[in-house]
Each structure stands twice: as C-alpha cells, then as structure tokens.
C-alpha cells in the first residue's frame, strides 16, 4: 500500500501581510508535493490562506460590511476561489488533478458523516487526485470552528490513517526555550518524558492565523498517539519536504507513541460533540487508566449522569474532580444509565472497543 501524508500549509507561509498569495513559495511547495506523488505517496493537502487571499481581492468593498463575522465569510468566499484556482493551475503543470474539500466540525460529529467524508477522501487518494482541504469559513461560526487548520489536519491524518503529518509554518520547529536566547535550540525529537509543553512554548497567535505553537504541540502529541508520525517544520524552506523525508534534520519530529482502531480515531475527533457526560469514582478512574488491562466503563463505577443522550451518542467521561478522562459511544440511553447507576453485574455503558482516553 502506498504511504499517505497529510501536509498542512499555514497562512503565513502562503500569503504576505497584504493578503496576496506568494506564488513563488506556492509553486515550490506544489512542486515538492508533486514529486512525492511521483514517488508513490498519496498526498492530502490542508491549506490555509482563503481568508487572507480574500482580503486582498475584496478591497474597498469590505468597508460596506460592518459585521466582522460576515466580513470574514465574504473574504473566505472570494479568497477560496483564488486559492483553489492557483492550486489547480500549479498542480496541472505536473499533470495532477486536484479536488476541493471544505469541512466544518459538524462533519466529524456523527459516525455516518465521518465515514462519508473518509470514503470520499480515500477515493480521491486512491485515484491519484490531490484533495485540497480547508475549513468552510463561509458557514463556520464559533461553535463549529476548528481551533485552526492544524486541528483539521490532525483529525484528517487520523481519519485516513496517514503515515506522516507535516505542519508547515514559518518557524523551524519547537524551541527548547526563548527563541531570542542564543542558547536556545530547536528540538529534533520530541520526548514527553523530557519536555513539558508549558516550559518550551510561548502562547500567542500569528497575524494571519488563529493558532499558535501551543496548539500545534497538542495536536502533534495527540496525532502521534493515534499512530501517525508528525513533523512541525518551516514551510518556507525550498527543500523542506525532501529534508523531512530524507536524512537531513528538519523541524521537530514526534514519533508514533500508539496505535488505535478506526473507531477510536473517530472518537478522538468527536469529544467536542458529546451530548452528555458521566462522572466516575476513583476506582473506575484507576481501572480505566491502567495500561496493563483493558477495561470497559461499568455502571458500578459511575457516580453521576448528566445530559440527555441516546444509544450510539458520544459522551464524556469525567473523574471525581471534573477532569475529562476521555469519551466513548454509549451502549444505552441516559434514562437506563441513571437507572443502573452504581449497580454491579450490568452491561458496560461504554465498551472498551468504543472508548477513547485522552492520556
């Protein structure tokens, strides 16, 4: 089977501060990805830049729109056309067709939606068409927005079981201290036992993007846990992809730390859409987190049930202090869960096969 790669290109890589697409950088990146396709890679591209590109196109017309949310929607709608036309033209130079895929968080909400999108994207990959995916900013509002396209890329990498996820921005990788400190170095291989996120990351957002390095790190660690290797690197480097795939050191690499089923990869993306929650006691928490045993969530370990959920809905699992331990797919509804609360000898509310734990 051909190897699969998800490549996310950030706004700052693609656009200047005036909103214009950087054709030189864009052309170079497309050339690198086309070369990978020629070598047998299946490439899924997650591209930012629509809103920034639209800002350059709409010009003075934006002054007629007072609502900032609507203004962003207009910028996205006009800019997405320009962005996709650029990709179509550049990939066509390498005899590669492209397809546009626009997504919102609601596409990950139900198992059916998730499988429908996965089926479409996998069909594109298998036929040699490059899917170009972006958040559907035209319809996305606060509750339906991804944190940024890093999050979308991580979810897609889990969806198609990618071998590699590349998050390309304008920094060389993750630094082990203040970037301006002369002794600071770029971390080549991330190690959870050696590094702590809060110690090495400065919070903040870029001018053109919504996310920051803190979010990139969280996405990278979660994706590596799902079975996909991750690299955070500088997308403006004209040889970045060959360096990542070759022997040269490039960016910060997150080795695979786990592997889970297709169902659990979906659950890892569905926690935001939980329709209810259960609070477990200390004994159940210990059993669920025990890496040496596979445990389902039994009614005897549940202290409280919140929300109205049906069989098949995703629900959160909280510990006694209210910390989210994970989520899972309920085997029966909230009414039955409350009726069986604390009872022994009952069927699990969440079977292990349909249970995803955060850590």
259 and 349 both lie in a single domain: no
Predicted local distance difference test score (pLDDT) of residue 76 = 81
Same domain? 22 vs 141: yes
Distance, in Å, from the CA atom of 26 to the CA atom of 9, rounded to the nearest integer, reads 10
Residues 330 and 225 in one domain: no
Give the pairing type, strands 276-280 and 4-9.
unpaired
What's the CA gap between 142 and 272, in Å, rounded? 13
Cβ–Cβ contacts within 10 Å for residue 215, how many? 20
Final residue in a domain of this structure, among 243, 263, 283: 263
Where is the domain boundary, 204, 239, 263? 263
Q: Which residues does the chain have with pLDDT short of 70?
A: 1, 17-19, 55-59, 137-145, 147, 179, 196-211, 271
Is there a single domain that holds both residue 221 and residue 344? no
Cα(183)–Cα(72) distance, integer angstroms: 41
Q: What is the CATH number of the domain that holds 299?
A: 2.30.130.10
Same domain membership, residue 204 and residue 223? yes
For the stretch 184-188, contacts whose Cβ atoms lie closer than 8 Å and that sit 24 or more positions apart, written own/partner, are: 186/251, 186/252, 187/252, 188/249, 188/252, 188/253
Regarding whether 347 and 200 lie in a shared domain, the answer is no
Q: Please report how the helices 262-270 and 149-159 are oriented relative to each other, as an axis angle in degrees rounded to 10.
A: 160
E strands, the chain, are: 4-9, 42-47, 98-103, 130-135, 164-169, 229-234, 252-254, 276-280, 302-307, 314-318, 324-329, 355-357
Both 188 and 333 in one domain: the answer is no
- CATH number of the domain encompassing residue 75: 3.40.1160.10
Residue 200 and residue 177 in contact, taking contact as beta carbons nearer than 8 Å? yes
Q: Are residues 278 and 258 in the same domain?
A: no
Q: Classify residue 342: in a domain, yes or no.
A: yes
Q: How many CB atoms lie within 10 A of CB 99?
A: 17
Residue 211 lies in a domain: yes
| Number of domains the chain is built from | 2
Q: Is residue 268 part of a domain?
A: no
* 301 found inside a domain: yes
Same domain, 142 and 104: yes
Q: Where are the beta strands (DSSP E) in 260-349?
A: 276-280, 302-307, 314-318, 324-329
- Give dist(CA 334, CA 330) in Å, integer: 9
For helices 68-92 and 23-38, what crossing angle results, to 10°? 50
- Domain identity same for 76 and 193: yes
> Does residue 269 lie within any of the structural domains?
no
Query: What was the pLDDT predicted at 209?
Result: 41
Which of 228, 244, 263 is at the close of a domain?
A: 263
Whether 203 and 232 map to the same domain: the answer is: yes
- Residue 105: HSE in the Cβ half-sphere, 13 Å Cα cutoff: 19
Task: Output helix, strand, coil percentages for the chain, rounded to the nearest 5.
Answer: 40, 20, 40
Domain annotation covers residue 241: yes
Token representation of residue 142: 């606060």
Same domain, 323 and 230: no
What's the pLDDT at 334? 96
Q: Which residues constitute the domain of residue 12?
A: 4-263
């Amino acid at each position: 089977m051909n190897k699969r790669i998800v490549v996310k290109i950030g706004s700052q890589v693609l656009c200047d501060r005036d909103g214009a697409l950087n054709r030189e950088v864009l052309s170079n990146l497309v050339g690198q990805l086309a070369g990978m396709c020629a070598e047998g890679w299946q490439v899924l591209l997650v591209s930012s830049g629509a809103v920034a590109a639209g800002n350059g196109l709409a010009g003075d017309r934006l002054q007629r729109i007072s609502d900032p949310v609507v203004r962003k929607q207009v910028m996205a709608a006009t800019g997405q056309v320009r962005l996709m036309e650029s990709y179509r033209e550049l990939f066509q130079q390498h005899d590669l067709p492209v397809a546009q895929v626009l997504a919102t968080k609601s596409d990950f909400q139900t198992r059916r939606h998730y499988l429908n999108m996965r089926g479409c994207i996998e069909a594109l990959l298998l036929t040699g068409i490059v899917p170009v995916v972006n958040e559907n900013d035209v319809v996305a509002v606060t509750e339906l927005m991804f944190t940024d396209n890093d999050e979308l890329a991580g979810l897609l990498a889990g969806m198609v079981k990618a071998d590699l996820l590349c998050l390309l921005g304008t920094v060389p990788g993750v630094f082990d201290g203040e970037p301006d400190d002369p002794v600071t170095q770029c971390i080549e291989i991330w190690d959870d036992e050696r590094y702590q996120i809060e110690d090495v990351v400065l919070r903040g957002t870029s001018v053109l993007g919504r996310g920051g390095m803190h979010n990139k790190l969280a996405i990278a660690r979660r994706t590596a846990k799902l079975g996909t290797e991750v690299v955070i690197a500088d997308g403006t480097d004209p040889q970045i992809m060959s360096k990542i795939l070759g022997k040269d050191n490039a960016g910060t690499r997150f080795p695979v730390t786990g592997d889970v089923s297709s169902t659990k990869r979906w659950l890892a993306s569905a926690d935001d859409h939980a329709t209810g929650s259960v609070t477990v006691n200390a004994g159940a928490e210990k059993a669920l987190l025990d890496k040496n045993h596979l445990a389902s969530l039994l009614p005897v370990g549940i202290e409280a049930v919140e929300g109205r959920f049906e069989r098949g809905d995703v629900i959160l699992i909280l510990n006694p202090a209210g910390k989210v331990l994970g989520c899972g797919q309920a085997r029966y509804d909230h009414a039955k869960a409350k009726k069986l609360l604390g009872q022994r000898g009952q069927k699990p509310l969440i079977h292990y096969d349909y249970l995803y734990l955060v850590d």
